[in-house]
Amino acid sequence: MEQLRDPQNGCPWDRGQDFRSIAPCTIEEAYEVADAIDQGDMGQLREELGDLLFQVVFHARMAEELGAFDFRSVAAGISDKLVRRHPHVFGGTQSPAAGSQRQDWEGIKAQERGTRAALDGVAKALPALARATKLGRRAAAVGFDWPDMAGVVDKIHEELAEVQAAMAADPAALAEEIGDLLFAVTNLARHAQVDAEEALRLANAKFERRFAHVERRVGEGGRPWAGLAPAELDRYWREAKRAG
């Protein structure tokens, strides 16, 4: 990386990058790692992890050029953090039960934040679904939460009613109300200990699979989509649901 960034003999493209221009590549590489995991392709995973590691090296090198930090300090920092956040492994304390480990982890993180507000440091660049989940978790860590899932379900019904009211009387508020509904659903996933991102990814895959069945059935009939009645399309969709 040092050679690629060399002012005289390096690569013009690599020399021309900065933190902001590289950030989208970093995010993309992380998603490609997740995609390789979903496919169960270990060879692809090895390659994608290398690409992601390169992103870390790239950022660290640019920081080193500014005199801010280097790769070694990045590695040392995460090592120290893992030791600090696992006292039951490295500090000789009793190992927590599985259910309380997340609470202990969040408690240690809260101590590290010190007097900062509970929601400080939740990255604005996170995908909205992931950020909503993290905001809910941070608020819950200081006691701002529903006592159980039933309260969240009631909140979802409340938000859905507000969406329906906006549809009828205040279309300008519809986007805001749908956002409130989505945020409430992420809190339901959190209470159910369901990864909202993974749940939605599975739902996307299921929709793609079922829609492909509908497309195939439409093609078999030889008629354009516009010529099909909604009831016929719904019949194909129900076929797809029965197939899985």
Domain identity same for 104 and 134? no
Domain identity same for 154 and 103? no
Closest CA to 188 of 156, 144, 228: 156
Q: Take residue 152 and report the two structure tokens written for it.
A: 């969240």
Distance CA 222, CA 75 (A): 60
Q: Is the pTM of this model over 0.85?
A: no
Domain identity same for 99 and 165? no
Residue 159, pLDDT above cutoff 60: yes
pLDDT tens per residue across span 77-100? 999 999 988 888 888 766 666 555
Looking at residue 118, what is its pLDDT?
A: 85
Domain identity same for 236 and 137? yes
Looking at residue 115, what is its pLDDT?
A: 62
Under DSSP, the state recorded for 198 is H
Residue ending a domain, choose from 86, 113, 140: 113
Number of domains in the chain: 2
Distance CA 133, CA 182 (A): 11
Q: Does residue 29 lie within any of the structural domains?
A: yes
Distance CA 10, CA 3 (A): 6
Looking at residue 227, which CATH number applies to its domain? 1.10.287.1080
Domain identity same for 100 and 187? no
Q: What is the signed CA dihedral for 98, 101, 102, 105, rounded to 10 degrees?
A: -160
Domain identity same for 103 and 183? no
Looking at residue 87, what is its pLDDT?
A: 87
> What percent of the chain shows pLDDT beyond 70?
90
Residue 102, pLDDT above cutoff 70: no
pLDDT tens per residue across span 187-229? 999 999 999 988 998 999 999 999 999 999 999 988 899 889 9
Q: Does residue 120 lie within any of the structural domains?
A: no
Q: Does residue 90 lie within any of the structural domains?
A: yes
Structural domain boundaries, residue 54? 12-113
Looking at residue 47, what is its pLDDT?
A: 97
Q: pLDDT class for 6, splitting at 50, 70, 90?
A: very high
Q: Does residue 104 lie within any of the structural domains?
A: yes
Q: Does residue 71 lie within any of the structural domains?
A: yes
Sign of CA dihedral 132, 133, 134, 136: positive
CB 38 within 8 A of CB 61: no
Q: Does residue 7 lie within any of the structural domains?
A: no
Q: pLDDT class for 161, splitting at 50, 70, 90?
A: very high
Q: Does residue 121 lie within any of the structural domains?
A: no
